[in-house]
Amino acid sequence: MTDKRRSAVKQLFAKNRIVSLFMLVLVMAMIATACSSDDSDGGGDVTTTTADGGGGEGGSDAAIVIAIGSEPSSLDPQIRDDGGERAINDNIYETLLARTPEGELVPGLASDMPTQVDDTTWDVPIRSGVTFHNGNPMTTEAVAASFDRIVALGEESEQFGFFGSIIDVEAVDDTTIRITTDGPDPVLPSKLYWIKIIDASLADNADFAENPVGTGPYVFKSWDRGTGIVLERYDDYWGDTPPVQQVTFRFIEEAGTRLSGVLAGEIDLMTNLSPDDIDVPPQSMSVVGGEQPTMILSTIDGPTADVRVRQAMNYAIDKEAIAQSLYAGQAVVTQCQMLRPSYTGYNDELSAYPYDVEMAKTLIAEAGAEGATIDIVGESGRWLKDRELIETVANYWADAGLTPNVQIFEFGEYLNRLFDREYRAPAIFVSMSNELLDASRTYSAYYAPDGSGASNNDEEMQQWIDDAAVETDVDARNDLYHQAGARACDDAYFAFLVDIEDTYGATERLVWQPRVDAKLLVKEMSVTG
């Protein structure tokens, strides 16, 4: 990348930060903070930068405030695929299996790890003595009913694709459920980390999506629409008593405003701290997470139905400039697939499209698409520098001769359009997390034509992914995912961008280790003093 091009990119990014930087300068003028870096106890992949000071854990009546970038579209844990919803509900509801902060699967509401009886049958032991927040017991029947509901919802649920293999969940006795699938499902244990267990007797209530009742360490107290949600500690929780008594989640789209709240001591933890501001808050934390911002390109109709246009849209993007300038080096170029190297199914033979704007212009001219309008569906505030990234990509496409039309929607409406099966915009922004750490989640949702967020009609792709879902031989399963990944790369079903770290800003008093799955589990947090 030339110095001229790098300068232009930085100027472009700067336009989107003028207001927040001005505000930060005013705040920082009143603050003198010496910072030093140290690895956290969670391992080398977690980095924490702190100001001097701090001490042991605080008392058991602590209250904290967490600022996230978007408001939940619903608090029904089985309807939307919504990161804002998960941030709240991960503290209210629980899953059969859990993960350590480093990502290892461990028992949750299950008392032990599941046992595979045969290729299509799994027995899961269920923990005794657990109650929902309304006092109802969490029984094996309740667990079975939770699975039954999501299967019954079918395509009404944006999560259904993860559980389509399940054909029966039976309460064998008071301590065991039996799960039967329609074929081998090698990632079923990981799926047990995803589905939240509900009190199914409440699911038909009109206010179910606004008054969640789970088994988790925190109870829902209130929802001030547009402002925040308050949770309080559940005193009858089956597990260890969390140090924090009350948590308020505030919805603040603008990262600079979240940071100002941290600096003022009004917010204890903020998500999506800009890499440019990593030394600004009393504490900054980062971990190699799961977010992969990507543009889904429609192969079905419109200008992007031509493979040359889609390939041109990949050549047109200077991904290294984005990683270095927009994310201050805390990102790496995605290697032409919506997977990280540690995930099952990753294809290490794929490589990113090089930045070649002249090739992009040539391909667009060959397709007769000069000046073609490209509608880009996106949102703002949910993910790190999402609006800036969307607008940057749009500018690259404009430089190559297309006419981008950026459409930024409120998050609930954005999700409606992301998962709309009737109309697929030429380009839809998504930042994909993969808590299963397996290609099945990403490929079933965004690669397979019947996926909730897919924009292609590739029947062979569908067959590869269907076959991989029931393949128990590890090498054969990887081969199927490798074929699917290579097709999506070669035919540019996506505009692949960068992999980013999860970054957080915090007050000096907060004690917490970021997780590789990006969950904000308040039970793992405490305060000093």
Contact by Cβ (8 Å): 228, 70 = no
- Residue where the block lists tokens 């067959």: 463
What are all long-range contacts of 200-209, with beta carbons under 8 Å and residues at least 24 apart? 200/142, 200/145, 200/146, 200/148, 200/149, 201/136, 202/134, 203/149, 208/76, 209/74, 209/75, 209/76, 209/79
> Pairing mode, if any, of strands 498-500 and 244-251?
unpaired
Q: Which of 222-226, 360-364, 435-439 has the lowest mean pLDDT?
A: 435-439
Q: What is the dihedral of CA 23, 29, 33, 37, to 10 degrees?
A: 40
- Would you say residue 50 has pLDDT above 70? no
Ranking 45-54, 182-191, 327-336 by mean pLDDT, the lowest is 45-54
Cα–Cα dist 100/111, whole Å: 16
The per-residue pLDDT of the chain, averaged, comes to 88
Q: Is 150 in contact with 77 (CB distance < 8 Å)?
A: no
pLDDT-wise least confident of 146-160, 166-180, 212-226:
146-160
Show the DSSP H helices in 316-455 as ranges.
319-321, 357-366, 386-399, 411-418, 439-442
pLDDT at 10 exceeding the cut of 80: no
C-alpha to C-alpha distances, 206 to 202, 209, 210, 211, nearest whole angstrom: 9, 8, 9, 10
Phi-psi region of 492 (alpha: psi -120 to 50; beta: other; left: phi over 0): left
Cα(320)–Cα(356) distance, integer angstroms:
12
* pLDDT at residue 480 tops 50: yes
Average pLDDT score over residue span 132-161: 90
pLDDT score, position 49: 65
Q: What are phi and psi of 254, to 5 degrees?
A: -85, 125
Give dist(CA 91, CA 79) in Å, integer. 17
For the cut 90, the answer to whether the pLDDT of residue 269 exceeds it is: yes
Mean pLDDT across 67-88: 91
168-211: pLDDT as tens digits? 999 999 999 999 999 899 889 989 998 899 998 998 899 999 99
Q: How does pLDDT run across 232-260, given as a tens digit for each residue?
A: 999 999 999 999 999 999 999 999 999 99
d(CA 82, CA 29): 37
- High-pLDDT (> 70) share of the chain, %: 89
Give the bridge partners for 404, in sequence order: 374
Alpha-carbon span 46 to 462, nearest angstrom? 37
| Domains of the chain by start residue, with CATH | 18-67+216-287+503-527 (3.40.190.10), 93-202 (3.90.76.10), 292-500 (3.10.105.10)
Q: Quote the pLDDT of residue 61.
A: 81
Whether the CA torsion 49, 51, 57, 61 is positive or negative: it is negative
| CA 227 to each of CA 45, 66, 230, 384: distance values in angstroms, whole numbers, following the listed order | 33, 12, 10, 20
Residue 472: phi and psi, rounded to 5, are: -95, -15
Take residue 214 and report the two structure tokens written for it.
């789970």
- The C-alpha atoms of residue 448 and residue 459 are separated, in whole angstroms, by 8
